[in-house]
Structure 1
Amino acid sequence: MSSQCCISGFKWDGAPTGHDTTLGDLNAYMAKATTTTSTTNSGEDDVAVLFIHDAFGWTFVNERLLCDSYAEEIGATVYMPDFFAGEVIPSDIVRDPKRWNEFDFPGFIARNSREERWPQIQQAAATLKTKHRKVGVAGFCFGGWAAFELGSDEYTPRLVDCITVAHPTNLTTNDIDKIGVPVQICAPDEDPMFTPEMKKYANEVIPTRGCAYDYQYFPGVTHGFATRGNPGADGERRAMMRSKRAQVGWLKEWLHGGE
């Protein structure tokens, strides 16, 4: 995972409205809808979204603000657990390349590898499944491979009901080969972590998997745009808003659709 693309970007203004809690043994940020949506019959507590953060982790203000928006617009309870065992990249370095060498990013990635974090991610999804009728996943950067793994057809019953990812990292052809739930990908034009070859593979293989698939392409933006884009730049702001609307619509369809 490249440190430059995974820790660059912008920190957004805003005050998150959710609160800290726990999910199983993990600390977590939780956001709940204040009102039910028109697509909800039995209330927002009936469905949940597991929000799997990018490299900045569960305390990053940008992603907490996204959790708040997703909860309200989907009509769901959104949980963003801490999958980095309390370790947090200082968010104030996000816009300052001169400070990126202050943080041991290679060591951080080694400590938070797939092998190390998958058991916690799987348990978080299993816990939500015991509390909610349906569970969707939104994964960003680090969360991309995890969302695909949760959506694998290897698990019976399914761990989750649908997934959406933006600029995924560490995604493998094996992850794509096994997807078994409705899947959406929000892919920027330039992304060293989700290469043209992987994009091509996903677009060739996923339609053969027998599950609903939505591929959203975002020209003129790079890796990290959905969680760390510049709201002051017209093109980036539009891409961020378009990505959020697409993901909200996808999760609403597969968590509330037909009700």
Structure 2
Amino acid sequence: MADADVATRAPESDAQESTAPADPSAQARPTMSEHCTSDRPTPSGEAPKGEVRKLGGVDVYLAKPNTYPANPSKLLLLLTGGTGLKSTNNQIQADKFADEGYLVVMPDLFEGNPAPNGSAVPDSEMQGTSFLDTFKLKAVETAKSFLIDMWLAKHTEEKVMPILEKVIHACEGEFADAVGNGGGIYAVGYCFGGRYILLLASERTPPQTGWTGAQRPADEEAGEAQGPAKKGPYIKAGALAHATLVSPDDFHDLKVPVSLVCVEHDPMFPDEVRESGEDAMSKAGLEHEVQVYPGVPHGFAVIGDYSDSHIKDAQATAFDQMLKWIKEH
């Protein structure tokens, strides 16, 4: 991305921070880290090859295989982190799946409002500073955290799921050949988008919104008497990497195979949430896989330039894991 707030701090320091034990107090409320809201530098020589257009009234990035539509393809939804639709790295990530033969649709989950850059102030920058300077730095960090919380309040499940439903319905119409060829829609998600892979993979009752008064329409009351209508699953199989904002409940009622790329000791996706999810999927007899990657930062699986060879290798391995999963299903 060309925005001035793109993160340029050394990636290796991210890995050191992310592998530290999670602070329990930091898990008290759902949030996102700087790795969900900032892009890494784009790898040299790489640039997007797809196009931004409307699909079902929603802006999407569309990446097609070179041989489509002459040769059959399968349809893949790619759900991004907070950097959103216009992120160069996210677009290149979509292109990588298109190069593997998938027709990739990457929707704008945030309606043109990507997350504010929320990078925290590293402890190393606090050393040797005066009390006043320390206070100022912490005030900036608190302000950024507040902005992210305000942003999250605007982009809830109640707002995002209808966007996805519009895009999925439009895909089933315009790209019926790719949907049919795959026997359904596949999906991969990163960071913020990771949780929505779980939601798309489940059969659930949508959150109740709207009416809060005592009197409601008769048809709504009649519908409740028969039980709320369930929706989903919307996809055939899904894979997610370093998801954020996930709760144990999100693993209930999953109906299709899922693959998880996880970061060891990830405060954005705590071990206890992952372990609870694994237990729920195992008890439900759901086909799944979970791979935990040590020594890498949250957000490592998204395209970005890293000088640390361990992170580079892990990024390539995570892509192969996700690709292999959707190819096998």
Give the TM-score normalised by the residue count of structure 1: 0.85
2:85 counterpart of 1:86: no
| 148 and 253 in structure 1: CA distance in 2 versus 1, 3 angstrom threshold | same
Q: CA deviation at 1:210?
A: 3.0
**2:60 aligned partner:** 28
Residue 188 of structure 1 contacts residue 221 of structure 1 at CA under 8 Å; is this kept in 2? yes
Q: Is the 8 A contact 2:240 2:260 kept in 1?
A: yes
Residue 190 of structure 2 corresponds to which residue in structure 1? Answer: 140
For 1:63, the aligned partner's letter is N
- Relative contact order (C-alpha < 8 Å, sep 6+): which is higher? 2
Q: Cα 1:61–1:96, aligned 2, differ >3 Å: closer, same or farther?
A: farther
Query: Matched residue of 1:226: which SS?
Result: coil
Give how far 1:136 is off.
Answer: 0.6
Look up the match of 1:257: none
Q: Given the alignment of the two structures, is residue 10 of structure 1 paired with residue 40 of structure 2, yes or no?
A: yes
Q: As a proportion of its length, which structure holds more strand?
A: 1
TM-score, normalising length: structure 2: 0.68
Percent identity at matched positions?
A: 26
1:83-107 Cα deviation digits (max 9, x unpaired): 111113478x879978976793222
Work out the CA distance in 2 between the residues paired with 1:172 and 1:7.
20
CA distance change for structure 1 residues 9 and 81 in 2, over 3 Å: closer, same or farther?
closer
Distance change in 2, residues 1:102/1:95 (3 Å): closer
Root-mean-square deviation (CA, aligned residues, Å) is 2.6
Cα-to-partner distance string for 1:52-107 (whole Å, 9 max, x where unaligned): 1101001111111110011111x11001111111113478x879978976793222
Query: 2:152 and 2:162 mapped to 1: Cα distance?
Result: 16
Contact in 2 for aligned 1:190/1:223 (Cα 8 Å): no
Mean Cα displacement is larger for which, 107-116 or 93-102? 93-102
Specify every segment of 5 or more residues in structure 2 that has no aligned partner in the other structure, as ranges: 1-30, 123-136, 205-229
Native 8 Å contact 1:58 1:80 kept in 2: yes
1:191 aligns with 2:289: no
Aligned to 2:264, what secondary structure does the other structure show? strand
Could you tell me whether the CA contact under 8 Å between 2:89 and 2:304 is conserved in 1?
no
Query: Aligned partner of 2:75: which letter?
Result: A
Partner residue, 1:253: 328
1:211 alignment counterpart: 286
- Counterpart among 149, 157, 162 of residue 106 in structure 1: 149
Partner Cα distance (1:163, 1:3) in 2: 23
* 8 Å CA contact 2:56, 2:167 repeated in 1: yes
Structure possessing the higher radius of gyration over alpha carbons: 2
Matched, 1:240 2:315: yes
Q: Distance in 2 between matches of 1:77 and 1:19?
A: 12
The total of aligned residue pairs comes to: 246
Residue 50 of structure 1 is matched in structure 2 by: 77
Q: Write the distance in 1 (CA, Å) between the matches of 2:286 and 2:201.
A: 11
Equivalent residue number for residue 4 of structure 2: none
| CA drift at 1:190 | 2.9
Q: Flag the 1:86–1:15 CA change in 2: closer, same or farther, 3 A.
A: same
